[in-house]
Structure 1
Amino acid sequence: MIDLTTLIAYTAVVLGFVFIPGPATLQTIARATSSGTRVGIATGAGIAAGDVFHTVMAMIGISAIIAASATLFSVIKYIGAVYLIYLGVRAIMEKTPANPAAGALAIPAGKAFRQAVLTEVLNPKTALFFLAFLPQFVRPENGTVMLQMAALGAIFVVLGLSSTVVFAVSAGRLGTFLSRNPSVLRWQGKVVGGIYCALGVRLALQQR
């Protein structure tokens, strides 16, 4: 069992981390603004699912293999970067709906969820973050290390999902407001696509 002092310290650090705008936040805001709150929340859920994957990988040591192999790290990094840029180019190239008032979602929530999962899983920086961050709050005297890692990962996932939901709801309302103006809507896809491309370039340039 994790002691209360460690738990409070960890929760405080994670809260500060997840509510500071980063790639996950930008991805969620981009989807919510262009496709609505539901799609934004689905994107946040996909990111959370990806974080569950990274928690498990950190627990069983796969992330350590990625950390030790420069080649494997680079391969995964560039695959993730290419995927993000691909999503960005598609968003930029998509045509504006003829009837903006129709209220159709740009993409289904399920598709947004799957894309977010894949994007998060293919980010080796996230894998290394979990590998380096979680063990700092593990204390052998507090019991089974694997269970402590699982608990810490679960807390991170829940708090991360809560933050993306907050951003998704806020951005979704903004997107509804902006969609009433067709001239703004014509640029919306390009802005969203630009965000995805920028995230892809950022990932490609990241160092271990």
Structure 2
Amino acid sequence: MPISDMPGIDHFGAFLMGCAVLNLTPGLDTFYILARSSREGRVVGIAAALGINAGCLVHTVAAVLGVSTILATSAAAFAALKYIGAAYLCWLGIRMLLKRPVAETATVTEGRGFMPAFMQGLFTNALNPKVALFYLAFLPPFVSLHAANVPFALLVLGLSFIATGLCWSMVLALVGARFRNLLEGRPATQTWMDRACGAVLVGFGSLLAIQQRR
């Protein structure tokens, strides 16, 4: 079947190109994966990438079920999720800002933070209502007016976006892990990275808190 003839989907090739461009655009996800992999190694970076994309899966299912529509039409629902997500990001950032200097703590073993990195990536993405609205705005235009099964078409589009994003996320995890060797034996640099990562997370959380629906 030609790539442009996916059932219930218009211009699937153009959709995939759009996915690639959007995934290559730097954002919180890019920063989070690079930070975790460069700080804790390849395995933790991969966990962060899987968590981020698991969050995308949550938004895909929400779009299929119509939950994203509720966020788009209910100011209260949008505000509630927005403030929860902002508080979570700020909490992660403050923890890193208040973290003891690396020289005073034991060295983190590669892979030790797999589940924390996965869960933090999942919640960072899943609790961002802007991502939910993005799915609601980006996916439906590619669903054919004559689609026999609209939810299925949305699911295919969402999973396709996740597939392209997962590929790029894995690249970021591997690239970030290459920098880990540069940090070993440099506790001052590692401490500086913790502070910088914490400040960026607090910044993202603060921006999310003041953003409005569009």
After TM superposition, is the score higher than 0.5? yes
Number of matched residues?
A: 208
Aligned positions of 1:111-122 closer than 5 A: 111-122=116-127
CA distance change for structure 1 residues 62 and 4 in 2, over 3 Å: closer, same or farther?
closer
Contact 2:8 2:146 in 1 (8 A): no
**What's 2:158 paired with?**
153
CA distance change for structure 1 residues 76 and 135 in 2, over 3 Å: closer, same or farther?
same
Instruction: Please state how far the C-alpha of 1:71 moved relative to its aligned partner.
Output: 1.4
Contact 1:100 1:179 in 2 (8 A): no
**What's 2:136 paired with?**
131
Counterpart of 1:82 (choices 87, 97, 101) is 87
- Secondary structure of the corresponding residue to residue 141 of structure 1: coil
Contact 1:34 1:192 in 2 (8 A): no
Instruction: Please state how far the C-alpha of 1:83 moved relative to its aligned partner.
Output: 0.5
Structure 2: how far apart are the matches of 1:180 and 1:101? Answer: 12
2:34 pairs with 1:29: yes
Structure 2: how far apart are the matches of 1:201 and 1:19? Answer: 24
CA distance change for structure 1 residues 107 and 86 in 2, over 3 Å: closer, same or farther?
farther
2:148 pairs with 1:143: yes
Contact 1:100 1:180 in 2 (8 A): no
Deviations 1:11-31 (A, max 9, x none): 000100001111111111121
Structure 1: how far apart are the matches of 2:155 and 2:135? Answer: 11
**What's 1:178 paired with?**
183
Percent identical? 37
TM-score, normalisation: structure 1? 0.92
Residue segments in structure 2 that go unaligned for 5+ positions in a row: 1-5
2:172 pairs with 1:167: yes
Structure 2: how far apart are the matches of 1:20 and 1:61? Answer: 27
Structure 1: how far apart are the matches of 2:127 and 2:52? Answer: 11
Mean CA deviation greater in 109-118 or 29-38: 29-38
Mean CA deviation greater in 190-199 or 10-19: 190-199
Counterpart of 2:70 (choices 61, 65, 75) is 65
**What's 1:48 paired with?**
53
- Secondary structure of the corresponding residue to residue 64 of structure 1: helix
Mean CA deviation greater in 13-22 or 160-169: 160-169
**What's 2:209 paired with?**
204
- Secondary structure of the corresponding residue to residue 25 of structure 2: coil
Structure 2: how far apart are the matches of 1:199 and 1:169? Answer: 24
CA distance change for structure 1 residues 58 and 5 in 2, over 3 Å: closer, same or farther?
closer
Aligned residues: CA RMSD: 2.1
